[in-house]
Structure 1
Amino acid sequence: MFAQASQANSQGKAQVDEILKKLRADLLAEKLTPEARQSLLEQLKVLGRDPSNSDSIFAKKGIETLCEYGFEVAELDVSQEALRCLANAMLLQEAPRQHLLDLGYDGKAAERLRNDDRNDEFLISRIIFLLTYNTTVNLGELVEKHELANSICRNLAGHADRLADSSSQPAHPMNDMALTETTKLLYNVSAMQPELAIRFASSVPDLFSILSHQKLPEPPLQGSVSATINALLNMQISHETSPTRAQVKQLLDILDRSTKAYSQSELEKIAPPLVLLLRKIQDKASPDVRKYMQSLLLPDEEARAKPLGQGDSLPSRLLRLSISPALVNLRESISTLLYELSDSDPTTFIHNIGYGYAAGFLSTHKIEVPETMMKADAQGDDINPVTGQRLAAEPTNPEPEMTDEEKEREAERLFVLFERLKATGVVDVENPVHQAMREGRFDN
């Protein structure tokens, strides 16, 4: 079995070597037809997917051959096939990335992005994206000298126009693939060199437009949707470029669907950028848009018929996530968003979500709570400050015994609150859950 595998690898390497030899010879003699060149490159692409075959491709001479076909040959189909081979090699190993730089093809790659062609956009954006990892690439030079920022902004404007045109034909899959690579590249460039983000400022309205017109996948935080959200994180959002109400509605719909579709462990990994983007938006939003966000993210009066956090509305789900022991980054992000939507005022914050949900965040951030807030009529209303429930809606009879599931949820909530309180260093208390476990009073 091992001998067969070894023989197959040897044959694959020999085929790769032979193809590269033919391609290099044709660069000098130019005897092959465009169809023959493309056929050889297609074979090389397939063989090159197996790293055990690809030493000759990964070598500097192999990358030079592919770069010459990719950036110097006039036939578009031949050129793009060579670029596919290049992108595969750069994905599989780091060395080809630096080889491309050393050969001076990074500038030509950035200039190739000027072409209004979605295949070119996909391939070149991926190649430059890969250059941002463990190489000596000069992103500033690509932006300033080779117009990388202009090309990215122009491509994003084109995507925004196509998605906004409801009369257009069904989108080609390559459109979405190209958009994903472009937004990934934009994120990396602006994250690695934040001073370059200003060069992409004109793309902010287009990015919001793209998000608002995208057909959301199920589940929603994937592909170009996730990549576009990430790209916006490094952009400066001003009052002039903040999204419209309709665009915010799409973002809130993404959040709503995500909290239903993903497990908590999945949300912890993929949802914080969306919540952070909503925080950036609310800070620069018009009064009308901000009020709209408050109406959809904070509990309404109808929710106060029960203790807040019960039910399946988006605000209820967010409140439960905000105290979940399974979450760290997302829990903090949600609480901060709700606090900022409450005008960063602790009194308003407690009124909006109840002290039971607000206490941990306030204590962790050492935000003083007005003593008057712990009285039921603190703001002239009839709301229980701890649960957020209307006093008139509270049952007059003792609560029925909690189910095991409800007891577990309450224990988790108390665990988080005590851990946050201890983290402040203000008081030295033992978490009652730890104490119960130590004393053998905790039932599994």
Structure 2
Amino acid sequence: VAIGGAVITFLLSWPIAFAAFGAEHFGAHPVEGQLFSIPTGNSAIHVGYLVDAPSALMLFMVSFLLVMIFVYASGYMTFPHHLSVADYPVAASQGKDPRYSRFMAYISLFATGMMGLVVSNSLITFFIFWEVMGLCSYLLIGFWYEKASARAASIKAFMTTRVGDVIMLIGMMMLYIYSEPSSLMFSEMLNVHNLEHLAELSMPTNWAVIGGLPIIGIISVLIFFGTIGKSAQFPLHVWLPDAMEGPTPVSAMIHAATMVSAGVFLLIRLYPLYAVTLEAAPAAMQFVAFIGGFTALFAATIAVAQWDIKRVLAYSTISQLGYMVAAIGIGAFPAALFHLLTHAFFKALLFLGSGSVIHGVEHGLHHVHEHNHDHDAHGDEHGHGHHAPALIQRADGVLNPEDAQDMRNMGGLLERMPRTGWTFIIGGLALSGFPLLTAGFWS
């Protein structure tokens, strides 16, 4: 059902995306509609949809990757070796994880949050779907809640992103208060009249620290903190590497199709606001550019010191998101959107490829473990059994020879898994921006 829903979503997004590619001045004539309203005192929350060029491209990218990830997940979530067949006879007969249905429900809700966010017509509904993804990230990162590390990582991700969301909510409140008319509808909030009005306002001069500062700059920075949390920018980047505790399809969802992409898309969706901020309060945009540029260098430096394959990819994601944020900080909004789209495709490829590699290494280690177990049993008969391999101290750190994610336990990928090996090479070349032949170079 989940895969079928993802396929239908992709098929529906296809003509919308091609309309965005082919229509002249498509961005100037977005498709907008209202579904219903929720009364809130003297005003109302208007729930509807807004499809323009950026959202149409995001619909195509997200829906395509969702199909790939859902299909991959159906084969990835197999019956674990460590569980007893007698305890889970139905799941074992199907060859699936006992919580497979729950997993697919969670990632379907995750996908719904991202798709709803992309087509939201107001900042308040955008924020609601934004929080739906935050909830799903907590549920999916901690999916294997038997592991203490997974439980800790899920709480860390949830609490860290909430810090950014609270600050972002303050910015949304200020935007609503100072806008004319007071509205969080994108069509009203981002029109020329309201943006010019915001650019003329300043904080009262008798206020400490922020006295006399342009209000539009303060609003832009406060909302940007939502991106800092969601897109794992410094200093709220700490949750993303630990999010690797979840299943590999979750990692691909977070790093490519949803979650971290939403933070950058927030800035792209509000690009008229940030374009005016670039002129009215350049210091605010310099702050955005500095955070993005520093994060790009900072995370890439950390990545080269990692041995866990998924943590290397996690820090590379943080670095690439830093490039996108830096591009927005200097006003290069189309470049940020282009790199957001290309990065999503090759990063999904790399994460799904890493999952296949980890599965292969786990299979090999499981085979070796069974062989050693048989050997130990034979040795015990003669009084000289063997114990589990101990950690190995090396010049490059401590090596656990049974860690399936440690790249030092890997090798011979092209020989043993040639298709995975070549696709991984293609993704790696795109990530490194190999000249002319890869999307990473052009973006």
TM-score, normalised with respect to structure 1: 0.26
Compare the two structures and name the one with the higher strand fraction: 2
